[in-house]
Structure 1
């Protein structure tokens, strides 16, 4: 959380990397730095520490601890002084989990402030992914460049194994100029595939993917940070995984097992039940959600209403079971963490057609760090998974149990949350009662999630349907409520990786965002800090407040419908 305050004792730590005579260009140098490192927490959409910095007025204002920016005065500019703190200090910016800026980047900000912090009129900062050399750029260079540009080979007299040589060597040096997109290291990657100067050349695997080119662009724009001690070595460029057994034929086997196992044929047969995940013994509970009709969305008069909550539309819902609780780490972690070698798409590197169906389902690759981020695991909700990962968990559970599990449609989720009510919350319109039913900003323990089931359930027996963590739905997000043509138990199939719908609000949200009709739209920024290239299809490293619960419809769908539910969306970006 950004809380500006003057820090006097550390100013001497800033290195003198820029000449005072060099004029810092705000749009070219400062804007990209702040948009990559700061505005995702302190911008138009977020105000951590009650501090925004997307406009000059906001950044100067700061917060209760003092000004964020005072032109010409480093000591009264917290956007600079907090950059110099040790990473273990609470006020350090960016926070430890995101990593400090490089010295060269800090020096640019320092010089800009000393020169009067010029900010062109009308400029409003947006958000951009923050690029870190070791996570985003080093793999690109090691897999595509070092094999030809090293001390032994040095094509074009350019050596890229160390920072000093990469920035200074080469026939047309410099090949890397911070903040300048004319830098050959970026510019030559944007050429057409048939141009002779394309880098890497077509015969060497070029052109780069659009994602890699964009990383290089953002890296240059953010000052081309390169830690002094990082040396590069050539690495093999791996091709895409193939021969994934998780296909339609596998779903046909699972479907046949479900048809054979599921005994309930009509709504009167449905009863709540407790069960255990067969492979692990982890318990889970399902409650019955009877069929019915309801009005989806909120009226114009509802306090806190978002524009995407209308127009209201009547929906008819078929019966289904729904998870009494959000999926916990007890259930999810054995699916997420396995000792089996896996390709990036989650398929097993070694498998046989005779393996059990649940063992052939794609499962996540290992995370780069524990995805609970130290907030707790036993009986705590699982978080940070992509919708794709949640869908595959449902398939994994279905293959073991003989029951068809999937994510709820957006209409099913709201129908279940409302539990027959029409008010903002299932208990009425008085948000002061919310503390009895939900963990949210006003009462979340230590500003993080809590163990499931500690608050009162809604009238249909669902715990934490509001708050704690928000929950994935199956639908592609639309700016308006899905129309009457979309049946309640059907969903809007995905056409793009973003956005998808999440519902229920989080431990970090205000009460208004926990209303039954409130919606969240997924965003690429939810995996901004993902160090993998390309970014993982399994993890949302920045969505530490996002989980899911499962549903089981009474009506068993067709093989094709089952396949669509478990493979909804675009797994890769």
Structure 2
């Protein structure tokens, strides 16, 4: 069982300090201004693969809801720092570069960087095709554990020289809610929401290529629907209660075990009426029920073809030492 050491208070804020480390071929441009039209493209050295990150200006919002779902209440104020977020959910083209069989692609990296990359454990071969035949070219990654997603983030950070991670639950909801075109967007009629969201009603019973629906106001595609997205948080149904009388600053419920983790956003597998920016998914061993291996894979899930992930990167980057501390905590290193 994964056992994680608690983070010092305010550590997520520490992660917004300046990240001095960079590598040749990596992210070297300085982005001096952050506004809703800002975007940068991250290229992966030695490949033709790249991805876009959209600017998410920080702010204060109301997290949660007063719905009948107890784990969504009470609603409370949360302050989020500015960050960058993946324009799309991570696709197979990018994730496959992380797999062990593709290690030689990065032999041209500087020796110091290559040594760090080679030291990162790569996923073992999956028991079966993790895409389940639904498609890989332009499609989101699915059937990966939160551990695999986080290790991928560490690998990507090492290869590019820029710090990438999963969003916290609070960051994810902020990107979804504040990226709505109007305050009552999520009460729109089905035919309007259908333009933005892949759900059980319109998905043809499988996930879709990223970017085929309309983006939200932040320029993020499929933030709701298509596939759910892993977050950094451990699931706790009553976690919001501790913030009802204050403004929570960059809250993060730090995991102490592998399950339960929070995933957000709804998917092609969910009815449209059950997809919302506040609904919280709870991981568990049920996501591996059809894995016959003993022990079950730490990397791949057999029953989560509706869960992927999206990258974020703080505007103010952590130092190399602070980033290392983060990986030690989230990966139990």
| DSSP-derived class of the 1:356 partner | helix
* Selected match of 2:211 from 439, 450, 453: 453
User: Which string of whole-angstrom CA distances, capped at 9 and with x for unpartnered residues, describes residues 217-251 of structure 1?
Assistant: xxxxxxxxxxxxxxxxxxxxxxxxxxxxxxxxxxx
> Counterpart in 2 of 1:515?
276
> Counterpart in 1 of 2:79?
316
> Counterpart in 2 of 1:381?
140
> Counterpart in 2 of 1:291?
58
The correspondence of residues 30-109 of structure 1 with structure 2, limited to 5 A, is none
> Counterpart in 2 of 1:167?
none
- CA 1:268–1:461: 2 relative to 1, 3 Å: closer
Aligned partners of 2:311 and 2:247: how far apart in 1?
A: 20
> Counterpart in 1 of 2:317?
556
Q: Are 1:280 and 2:47 an aligned pair?
A: yes
Q: Are 1:505 and 2:266 an aligned pair?
A: yes
- CA 1:465–1:340: 2 relative to 1, 3 Å: closer
Q: Are 1:257 and 2:8 an aligned pair?
A: no
How far the C-alpha of 1:532 sits from its partner, in A, is 2.5
Aligned partners of 2:119 and 2:36: how far apart in 1?
A: 32
| Contact 1:537/1:571, CA 8 A, preserved across alignment | no
User: Which string of whole-angstrom CA distances, capped at 9 and with x for unpartnered residues, describes residues 21-80 of structure 1?
Assistant: xxxxxxxxxxxxxxxxxxxxxxxxxxxxxxxxxxxxxxxxxxxxxxxxxxxxxxxxxxxx
* Greater helix share, structure number: 1
> Counterpart in 2 of 1:415?
174
Structure 1 spans left out of the alignment, 5+ residues: 1-209, 211-254, 342-351
User: Which string of whole-angstrom CA distances, capped at 9 and with x for unpartnered residues, describes residues 145-194 of structure 1?
Assistant: xxxxxxxxxxxxxxxxxxxxxxxxxxxxxxxxxxxxxxxxxxxxxxxxxx
Aligned partners of 2:47 and 2:238: how far apart in 1?
A: 41
* Selected match of 1:306 from 58, 65, 69: 69
Aligned partners of 1:533 and 1:571: how far apart in 2?
A: 22
Aligned partners of 1:268 and 1:354: how far apart in 2?
A: 32
Structure ranking higher on relative contact order (CA contacts 8 Å, 6+ apart) = 2
The correspondence of residues 435-514 of structure 1 with structure 2, limited to 5 A, is 435-445=194-204, 447-482=205-240, 483-484=242-243, 487-514=248-275
| Contact 2:39/2:55, CA 8 A, preserved across alignment | yes
- CA 1:326–1:459: 2 relative to 1, 3 Å: same
> Counterpart in 2 of 1:328?
91
> Counterpart in 2 of 1:130?
none
- CA 1:382–1:424: 2 relative to 1, 3 Å: farther
| Contact 1:287/1:322, CA 8 A, preserved across alignment | yes
> Paired residues, what number?
304
- CA 1:427–1:258: 2 relative to 1, 3 Å: farther
| Contact 2:21/2:319, CA 8 A, preserved across alignment | no
Aligned partners of 1:389 and 1:306: how far apart in 2?
A: 30
> Counterpart in 2 of 1:193?
none
Aligned partners of 1:431 and 1:568: how far apart in 2?
A: 42
Q: Are 1:364 and 2:123 an aligned pair?
A: yes
Aligned partners of 2:225 and 2:142: how far apart in 1?
A: 13
Question: TM-score if structure 1 supplies the norm length?
Answer: 0.49
| Contact 1:326/1:381, CA 8 A, preserved across alignment | yes
Question: TM-score if structure 2 supplies the norm length?
Answer: 0.81
| Contact 2:35/2:56, CA 8 A, preserved across alignment | no
> Counterpart in 2 of 1:525?
286
How far the C-alpha of 1:413 sits from its partner, in A, is 0.4
Aligned partners of 1:496 and 1:356: how far apart in 2?
A: 29
Aligned partners of 1:565 and 1:505: how far apart in 2?
A: 28
| DSSP-derived class of the 2:257 partner | coil
